[in-house]
Copies of this chain bind each other. A is one copy, B any other.
Amino acid sequence: MNKRVRLIDVAEAAQTSIKTVSRVLNNDERVSDETRERVQKKMNDLGYQVDIIARSLRTGVDRVIGVVVPKIGDPFFAELVEEVEAVANEHGIGVIVGSTHGELVRENELVQGFIQRRVTGMIIAPQDADYSFLKQNQMPTVFIDRAPEKYKADVVRVDDEYGAKIAVEHLIKNGHTRIAYFADNLKVKPTALRLDGYKAALKDAGIKLDEELQFLNLEADMNLDVTIEKALKIKNPPTAFFTSKAEISINIVSTMHKIKRTDIALVSFDDFTLAASIQPSITVIDHSAREIGRVAIKKLFEKIDGGDFKPQEHIIPLKVVPRGTGEIKVKVSA
């Protein structure tokens, strides 16, 4: 294929040195207007393009930030990445993404790979708690969603326990006392915290905890028909559902519509497309991916060009977005 045009090629053409061309490229003052113009013309003529890799090697950093998420196809993380990318772009920095799919090995590989690449910084939604392999201050890093253990770092997250608590309180306020909780994998810290919030709300209201109402460790893509059927068949059945995340909520909405049980109140931890539009519409705890992304990338840039700050935790405030399913046993017709 066509050979690359290098600085030296431009230098020869412009009858000057490689260094002067480099100066022009980097907008160094120390070049006379005349020379600058001549060099620039030649650059255009030859179609010169910097070699980013060579530059990165010399300068010691690759102008890219590495983002690690469980699943880029998940709209939550996709939006988060979009926000990160938008801000990074303003700084002339690219974004390289990797999905762990919940595999710890993969997560480690990704992070190691970013280090090997000398990325400018990292944003990580960790599954794995143990980040002790990362040397403190080795690389500007911001964690999202949950903090790693054994490593001091900036974290941007929502207050999961509080969010779950106000969600359940919302239901209690609307007269519900039999509230079932549908959660994904409890090994994931935020999910565990949400369960705590659920319990706390019930306890505060003096409602006795009923293990029969807790459906834990569900898979997001699992068929919940049987689970839900079971839930609705217990002696004193629930009048409201609380779900730990969007995928589960969607799954449940789907099933409920199928079995024509739209009389159950539902509050979802995440918001999701159409949650507001469907009948009955779903009350959610607003959990903005974009805001988390925005704060995370902002913090990351502070670390990158501001030097080292001491690690902080940033809690994104949560609130209930009430939407019609708060009230008890309202039969809504579509």
Residues from 55 to 79 in A contacting B, C-beta threshold 8 Å: 56-57, 62, 64, 71-75, 77-79
**CB nearest to A276 among chain B residues:** B254
Of B54, B75, B274, which is within 8 A of A75 by CB? B75
Q: This chain: how many copies in the complex? A: 2
CA distance A89 to B112 in the complex (A): 14
Given A57-B57, A113-B52, are A97 and B99 neighbors across the interface (CB < 8 Å)? no
> Residues of A within 8 Å of B, CB-based: how many?
60
Q: Is the CB of B78 within 8 A of A94?
A: no
In the complex, whether A104 has a CB less than 8 A from a CB of chain B is no
CA distance A290 to B134 in the complex (A): 34
CA distance A273 to B73 in the complex (A): 13
In the complex, whether A49 has a CB less than 8 A from a CB of chain B is yes
Of B72, B83, B276, which is within 8 A of A81 by CB? B72
CA distance A333 to B51 in the complex (A): 62
B-side contacts of A279, CB under 8 Å: 257, 279, 334
Of B54, B72, B274, B332, which is within 8 A of A278 by CB? B274
Q: Is the CB of A99 within 8 A of B86?
A: yes
Given A94-B96, A138-B2, A333-B333, are A116 and B250 neighbors across the interface (CB < 8 Å)? no
B-side contacts of A95, CB under 8 Å: 96-98
27 contacts between A and B (CB under 8 A): A1-B137, A2-B135, A52-B113, A52-B116, A52-B117, A53-B56, A54-B57, A72-B78, A73-B75, A73-B78, A75-B75, A75-B78, A78-B78, A81-B97, A85-B99, A94-B98, A95-B98, A250-B277, A253-B274, A257-B279, A258-B277, A260-B334, A262-B334, A272-B273, A273-B273, A279-B334, A333-B333
